[in-house]
């Protein structure tokens, strides 16, 4: 059995094979270089005062620890492949090549921008990691083809991607009730929701499909 018998080829998932190694290498550098880590970290207080704007993007390329890094890169690899494949299926390969990196940039920067607005007065708050991208990809994947059949052993009542997204949102909201957690739960909800909205913008037919599903 060869590697590409199990995993997608570069042609099938080009941006997964580009961005994941960059995140891995950059994050590992950040583990050992404090100056590099602090140059890329998101600091909403400064951003809202016109400084360190680049960190809206660069903060996705450093991580707090190995678990944080491996979780996000695994999700980005898998769902980045899904994003490229679904947009290619709907609009063609050329459009997927042009659109996917733009969507990646949006799903990194928009959740971070919302986070900056929320934490604009908190001098001590900082953030890092590709969680915005990974949870944005979750939301995008569910809403691009919202009626795509989907099953769940844990939640047997789920029959399609839309129901799976709703269930995921409820779980994320419940997780916000966990106190004393270092997980950036509100960023996850924002990114998850933004991903869904971006999917509706890219494929407006999804809105009609959702509407018909609800009223029928």
| 64 CB burial (10 A radius; 0-12, 13-18, 19+) | middle
131-144 vs 161-175: helix crossing angle, rounded to 10: 150
Position 152 scores a pLDDT of 73
Please list the ranges in the chain whose pLDDT falls under 70: 1-6, 180-182
Which domains does the chain carry? 10-215 (1.20.1540.10)
| Tens-place pLDDT, residues 49-58 | 999 999 999 9
| Tens-place pLDDT, residues 14-50 | 999 999 999 999 999 999 999 999 999 999 999 999 9
Cα 212 from Cα 205, distance rounded (Å) = 11
Q: Which residues contact 175 (CB under 8 A, 6 or more apart)?
A: 181, 183, 185, 188
CA dihedral in degrees (151, 106, 209, 89; nearest 10)? Answer: -80
Q: Whole-prediction pTM value? A: 0.92
């Amino acid at each position: 059995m060869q590697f590409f018998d199990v995993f997608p080829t570069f042609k099938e998932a080009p941006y997964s094979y580009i961005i994941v190694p960059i995140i891995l290498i950059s994050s590992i550098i950040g583990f050992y270089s404090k100056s590099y880590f602090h140059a890329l970290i998101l600091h909403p207080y400064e951003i809202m005062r016109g400084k360190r704007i680049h960190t809206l993007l660069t903060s996705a390329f450093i991580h707090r620890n190995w678990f944080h890094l491996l979780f996000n890169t695994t999700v980005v690899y898998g769902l980045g492949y899904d994003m490229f494949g679904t947009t290619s299926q709907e609009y063609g390969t050329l459009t997927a090549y042009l659109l996917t990196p733009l969507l990646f940039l949006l799903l990194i920067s928009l959740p971070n921008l919302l986070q900056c607005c929320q934490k604009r007065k908190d001098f001590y708050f900082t953030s890092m990691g590709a969680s915005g991208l990974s949870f944005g990809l979750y939301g995008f994947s569910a809403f691009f083809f919202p009626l795509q059949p989907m099953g769940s052993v844990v939640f047997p009542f789920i029959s399609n991607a839309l129901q799976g997204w709703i269930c995921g949102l409820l779980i994320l909201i419940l997780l916000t009730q966990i106190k004393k957690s270092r997980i950036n739960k509100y960023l996850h909800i924002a990114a998850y929701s933004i991903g869904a909205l971006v999917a509706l913008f890219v494929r407006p037919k999804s809105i009609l499909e959702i509407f018909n599903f609800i009223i029928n």
